[in-house]
Amino acid sequence: MKLRWTINGAPGELDLDPRVTVLDALRDHLGLNGTKKGCDHGQCGACTVLIDGRRVNACLTLAVMHDGAEITTIEGLGTPEAPAPLQREFVRCDGFQCGYCTPGQIMSATGMLAELRDGSPSHVTDSLTAEPEMTDAEIAERMSGNLCRCSAYPFIREAIEAAVGEERE
């Protein structure tokens, strides 16, 4: 089936079997290997990308369902010369060990911070009717869809907090 995507700002066309997930389309058909395949069942978050600005598991959705969509992957967030604040802070804070989950962590954090800016509550938000604050507990809860088997969680949370601070400056 033919479909059109805008990937990291560039429009393009694809012709795919309906079984191809967004994840497999990115990795196997477009050569964008930054997005990682971990569990392939939505449990680990390594495949997280933004579709039309929202974070989703690329493994749990079909490419053909997203004709016309705008997709942002880790390759579209920044470059080695000009990294996005989250990318820079993950390096500075050592927010990883093996690095396999890192693109998913960073894409998830990008979507998560947008949700926080929109005032969306979480499971640990005390008041549903007040603006949520960005605490360590809030970050941990909101990032629970991203596993890190090296367990770099404290530094991942630190990197996310630092990136927010950087954006505010």
Partner 1 sequence: MRPFDYTRPDSLDAATDALDAPGARIIAGGTNLLDLMKLQVMAPETLVDINRLPGLDRIEAEAGGLRIGALVRNADLAADPRVRHAYPVLSRALLAGASGQIRNKATTGGNLLQRTRCPYFYDPAMACNKREPGAGCAAEGGVTRMLAILGTSPACRAAHPSDMAVALRALDAEVEVHAPDGTLRRIGLDDLYRLPGDTPEVETTLAPGEIITAVHLPAPDAGAVQAYRKIRDRASYAFALVSVAAVVAVEDGRITRAALAFGGLAPRPWRDGRAEALLIGKAPSEALFAEVAEAVLDGAVTDAGNDFKLAMTRRALAAVLAETTGLAPASTGTDKVEVPA
Selected binder of partner 1 within 12, 94, 98, 124 (CB under 8 A): 124
Q: If binding is defined by CB under 8 A, does position 161 make contact with partner 1?
A: no
Q: Tell me the Ramachandran region of residue 41: left when phi exceeds 0, alpha when psi lies from -120 to 50, beta otherwise.
A: alpha
> Cα torsion at 100, 106, 109, 111 (round to 10°)?
-110
Q: If binding is defined by CB under 8 A, does position 117 make contact with partner 1?
A: no
Q: Indicate the length of the chain as a whole number.
A: 169
Selected binder of partner 1 within 42, 78, 83, 99 (CB under 8 A): 42
Minimum Å gap between C-beta 129 and partner 1 is 6
Site for partner 1, residues 125 to 144, rule: CB under 8 A: 125-129, 140-144
Confirm if 61 and 100 have CB atoms less than 8 A apart.
Answer: no
Selected binder of partner 1 within 11, 19, 31, 168 (CB under 8 A): 19
Q: If binding is defined by CB under 8 A, does position 120 make contact with partner 1?
A: yes
In order of 103, 114, 169, the CA distances from 32 in angstroms are: 12, 24, 32
Q: If binding is defined by CB under 8 A, does position 29 make contact with partner 1?
A: no
* Secondary structure element (H or E) that encloses residue 50, with its range: strand 48-51
φ, ψ of residue 24 to 5 degrees: the values are: -70, -30
Stretch that binds partner 1, among 78-86, 92-100, 106-114, 158-166 (CB under 8 A): 106-114
Selected binder of partner 1 within 73, 87, 108, 110 (CB under 8 A): 108
